[in-house]
Amino acid sequence: MAPPSGQVALIAVVDANASFRAQVSQALMSLYRVNEYPDAERALHGLKAAPPSVILVDEQTAPRGGCEFIAQLKRDPALAQVPTILTAKHEASVLAEALRQCGADGSLTKPFRRSSLIKVVTTLVNKQVEADWEHLPERAKAALKGSVEVFNNISDFIAAGEPVPFDSVKDACAPLIDAVANNDFKGILSGVREHDNYSYAHSMRVATLLSLFGHTLGLPKADQLVLASGGLLHDAGKISIPHEVLNKAGRLTEEEFVVMKSHVTETIKFLDLANDIPKPVIIIGAQHHEKLDGTGYPFGLKGGQLNDLARMASIVDVFSALTDRRVYKPPMPAEDALKIMTDQMAHHLDQHFLALFKTMLLDAVVD
């Protein structure tokens, strides 16, 4: 169930184990708000006061068990349409029978990986959005399905201190390159616009626009694949940023901005774990917030210290950020974004590449 317009989705966790509830909250902190309840009675009161987008219910929820509580929720007109996930220490076959009996929409066998939690939660929150992908052209559909799976798994690699398998990233981005070459990439941009995982939606738009930029400049397909991969991975470190900072509507405080800027150094640490990630991918992740006048971060690079790739990446990142749909604002029209980038960011962005980018958008009619 999608959250009300203008809100970060709320996830409810019903479990007697306070440590487990805290772990779920920590795992979801960059994506959602989380309300915690230790038992069915307090949960029912809280759920009616603040209906969530998804409810996780432990099998042993007091007083009569999680299956009975989920069945009760399904009979309640106010909560019947809220997707539920049953959590339990059972094998998949046992859980499948429990799901059939209580009517839950999904399940997780404890203990589970962070990516498994995110996958089942975001799938339910974005059920309609992702279902609509089935109606897109084959290349666009394949690009979205493959990329969201890779993106959901990144958190596990970060948590384990392991490198992302770069071949899987390239495989996920290959349909995107083909879509750009065949001019059917617009479905990708529209397909992620309403997706609830903002970090994924933004990264996929950056990957698409960087690929289009490379295609327009006549770069070889292999180079476009590197650009798209860099776009998909450029904000991987944002998984460590709490949603209240990542989704704050107003200006960040000085302390909050320090937290926000840390996503770049966290991205660099993650990308540096792999020995097969091309240098351009790392440059995109490390330098997309640098500015020509040296006022960017994290290194304060300026002028000739920024190569063409960094200049392209910063333009695409800014444009995408301005035109993305956020929980606190509708997407800005492309013309308005480009005017801001030209009039107010002349000392930050390479105006030669920006002029090429404008021409590219005009030819592609991207909005």
Show the tokens assigned to 141. 């559909």
When mean pLDDT is compared across 95-99, 122-126, 273-277, the lowest value belongs to 95-99
Segment 164-179 shows an average pLDDT of: 95
Residues 152 and 249 occupy one common structural domain: yes
Segment 355-362 shows an average pLDDT of: 92
H or E element that contains 106 = strand 106-109
Predicted local confidence at residue 290, as pLDDT:
97
For all residues of the chain together, what is the average pLDDT?
91
Residue where a domain stops, chosen among 125, 148, 182: 125
Predicted local confidence at residue 331, as pLDDT:
85
pLDDT in tens, 283-332: 999 999 999 999 999 999 999 999 999 999 999 999 999 998 876 678 89
Q: Which span out of 11-20, 197-206, 326-335 was modeled with the highest average pLDDT?
A: 11-20
Residue 222: other Cβ atoms inside 10 A: 10
Instruction: Give this prediction's pTM.
Output: 0.83
Spatial distance between the Cα atoms of 67 and 14, rounded to a whole number of angstroms: 12
Predicted local confidence at residue 227, as pLDDT:
96
156 pLDDT band, cuts 50/70/90, is: confident
Show the tokens assigned to 105. 């929409």
318 located within any domain: yes
Show the tokens assigned to 182. 């065949």
Residues 197 and 336 occupy one common structural domain: yes
CATH number at residue 198: 1.10.3210.10
Distances from the Cα of 131 to the Cαs of 8, 23, 103, 105, 149, in angstroms? 21, 29, 21, 15, 15
β-bridge mates for residue 35, sequence order: 12
Predicted local confidence at residue 172, as pLDDT:
95
Predicted local confidence at residue 5, as pLDDT:
47
3 pLDDT band, cuts 50/70/90, is: low
Residue type, 300: G
Residue where a domain stops, chosen among 125, 150, 174: 125
Range of the domain at 30: 10-125
Residues 50 and 32 occupy one common structural domain: yes
Predicted local confidence at residue 96, as pLDDT:
74
Q: In this structure, are residues 59 and 67 in contact, taking their beta carbons and an 8 Å threshold?
A: yes
What phi and psi, each to the nearest 5 degrees, are found at residue 196? -75, -25
Segment 37-41 shows an average pLDDT of: 97
223 located within any domain: yes
Predicted local confidence at residue 7, as pLDDT:
67
Predicted local confidence at residue 35, as pLDDT:
96
Residues 154 and 267 occupy one common structural domain: yes
Residues 142 and 118 occupy one common structural domain: no
Exposed (0-12), middle (13-18) or buried (19+): which is 80, by Cβ within 10 Å?
A: exposed
**Count of domains forming the chain:** 2
CATH number at residue 90: 3.40.50.2300
Closest by CA position to 309, among listed 287, 289, 337, 292: 287
β-bridge mates for residue 87, sequence order: 58, 108
Segment 13-30 shows an average pLDDT of: 92
Segment 27-54 shows an average pLDDT of: 93
Predicted local confidence at residue 4, as pLDDT:
52
